[in-house]
Amino acid sequence: MADSDPIKAIVTPVRLDYDFSAGAAATQFLRGLEQKKILGARSGPGQPVLVPPRGADPRTAELAAESVEVADTGTVVTYSIIRVPSDNISFELPYACINVLLDGADVGFFHVLQNCPLEEVRIGMRVRARWVEDAKLAPSVASIEYFEPTGEPDVPFEQIKEYT
Amino acid sequence: MSDTPDVLRGPHVLEYPYKRSLGPVLSRFFTGLRDRRFEGIRGRDGRVLVPPQEYDPETGEGLDEWVPVGPGGEIVSWSWVSRPRTKQPFDRPFAYALIKLDGADTPLLHAVDAPDESALSAGARVVPRWADAPSGGIRDVVCFDLEAR
């Protein structure tokens, strides 16, 4: 910056340092990821399986204490193409962020899609979680590196329209 | 789930590295700070606004009459920070103060470096401590110091 140039912008970072307690429900979910399991929860038989579990069923506020393992495969129900960089995300731009209805779950699960040309990303596409190598598994969402296509036939829209 | 023995806990940082475009008025104000001078802007009612505003706070009219102010001023009110946080101006106790610079009618918020709370009072005279190496921002004023009597 030359001394004669006017100052046209200033950097004003905002930073909050939290000491975050995951709580019982998310702790169980994160411990599951460490074992390559995706654990949801429901408030009882016949009730929706929520992933990740938040401790209660948001519709009824009932305790969702029954742990239910869901699959690491699912169906894309919505997606978004990300073109704006973010310091904490290392995926090469542009990439697709997907909302996956995991098999056995009743709500979508957000993650990143890789190994798929962006023009082929679509609602109904079947995907599978790509786990990090075993040595790197941790009680963290980073245990799933990304999702990628399975190559299975698409799920017809009619079957998933409630979730899109 | 109440029998879950160990609840996970860890640091979680939320940070946005905002860069703000200043516009013509604040651009001139911050450029002035880099060059070690304060400038205010005159509002429609004649008051000198510091920091300057692009539009009159009462009438919304554009403002363009610049007025040199400071560099000294007086403390209007202040708040003692006994346990500073990481990003605050000092790692030891200090004060945030509203400072009315000489010639200004509105106060500017900045830090005052004082040995302790009892050294401060409303009306106390302060002078700016300029940064050795300006970086283009409010930190080009390190803080204000109590004027030596």
The Cα B94–Cα B75 span in angstroms is: 14
Q: Which of B1, B85, B87 to mutate to test binding with chain A, by most A CBs within 10 Å of its CB?
A: B1
User: Least CA distance to A6: which residue of chain B?
Assistant: B31
User: Least CA distance to A21: which residue of chain B?
Assistant: B9
B137 CB neighbours in chain A (<8 A) are: 7, 10-11
Is residue A159 assigned to a domain? yes
Is residue A118 assigned to a domain? yes
User: Least CA distance to B5: which residue of chain A?
Assistant: A24
pLDDT tens by residue, B19-41 = 999 999 999 999 999 999 999 99
B9 at interface of A, judged by CB pairs closer than 8 A: yes
Chain pair A-B, CB pairs under 8 angstroms: 99
Q: Is residue A122 predicted with pLDDT exceeding 60?
A: yes
Q: Is residue B116 predicted with pLDDT exceeding 70?
A: yes
Q: Where does the pLDDT of residue B142 fall: very low under 50, low under 70, confident under 90, or very high at 90 and above?
A: very high
pLDDT tens by residue, B63-87 = 999 999 999 999 999 999 999 988 8
Is residue A153 assigned to a domain? yes
Is residue A13 assigned to a domain? no
Identify the CA nearest to A109 among candidates A121, A127, A88, A86: A127
Tally of domains within chain A: 1
Distance from CA of A46 to the nearest CA of B (A): 19
Check CB contact under 8 Å for A7 and B87.
Answer: no
A66 at interface of B, judged by CB pairs closer than 8 A: no
Average pLDDT rounded to a whole number, residues B104-120: 96
B90 at interface of A, judged by CB pairs closer than 8 A: no
Q: Which of A4, A7, A86 to mutate to test binding with chain B, by most B CBs within 10 Å of its CB?
A: A7
Is residue A18 assigned to a domain? no
B17 at interface of A, judged by CB pairs closer than 8 A: yes
Average pLDDT rounded to a whole number, residues A100-108: 96
Domain containing residue A78: 23-163
The Cα B134–Cα B14 span in angstroms is: 28
The pLDDT score that the predictor gives to residue A2 is 53
Distance from CA of B63 to the nearest CA of A (A): 18
Give every CB contact of residue A77 below 8 A, 6+ residues apart in sequence.
A99, A100, A101, A108, A123, A160, A163, A164
Q: Is residue A1 predicted with pLDDT exceeding 60?
A: no
Q: Is residue B6 predicted with pLDDT exceeding 90?
A: no
Check CB contact under 8 Å for A19 and B11.
Answer: yes
Is residue A63 assigned to a domain? yes
Kindly list the distances between the CA atom of residue B122 and the CA atoms of A38, A95, B77, B99, B129, in Å, as whole numbers in the listed order.
Answer: 60, 56, 6, 10, 19
Is residue A4 assigned to a domain? no
B17 CB neighbours in chain A (<8 A) are: 11, 13, 87
CB-based burial, A65-103: b 16+ in 10 Å, e otherwise: bebbebebbbbbbebeebeeeeeeeebeeebbbbbbbbe
Is residue A11 assigned to a domain? no
Check CB contact under 8 Å for B12 and A26.
Answer: no
